[in-house]
Amino acid sequence: MRIGLKGRAAWILLIAATLFAFGCGGESQHTGGAAKYPVGVSEDIGQQLKYDARVDSFDAEGEDLIVNVNDTWLHSPPGMRERALGQWYSLWQPGHSSASKIVVKHGGDEVESWTAEKGYQPASSEKKSSEG
């Protein structure tokens, strides 16, 4: 039995469509980019900070939370740092005033902060260059 050019094209199209359906179909499992903390850690700011390898230490100063970070924090993408600060603030703020903030420091210098009014605020590079 001889298949014509149109028949071959139809078979190739059918096989390609089948492969496409199997390759793009099926269940998608969203692994998510957020950190997976052990049970009970995700709701506790102190436990989250202890669990985060980028954090050296942290301390409450009045209504503010000061987080001292290591070099790994500075080498993390800005979006990851912003997301971590937002998560920490969402856990910190309910027990504190709306004027509270989280300040991230490296080597004693402020590198980032989060406030209710302004959200994520990286330290200005102009300030760093004028000090040095």
* pTM confidence score: 0.64
Is residue 45 within 8 A of residue 52, CB to CB? The reply is no
Distance between CA atoms of residues 53 and 75, nearest Å: 13
pLDDT (tens digit, 9 = 90+) per residue, 82-106?
A: 999 999 999 998 888 888 999 999 9
Structure tokens at 68: 């001292």
Q: Which helix (H) or strand (E) holds 55?
A: strand 55-61
Distance CA 102, CA 63 (A): 9
Please say whether the beta carbons of 112 and 65 come within 8 A.
Answer: no
Angle at 27 between CA 23 and CA 31, to 5 degrees: 105
What pLDDT does 126 receive?
Answer: 40
Domain ranges of the chain: 45-131
Nearest CA among 82, 74, 79 for reference residue 106 = 74
pLDDT at position 106: 96
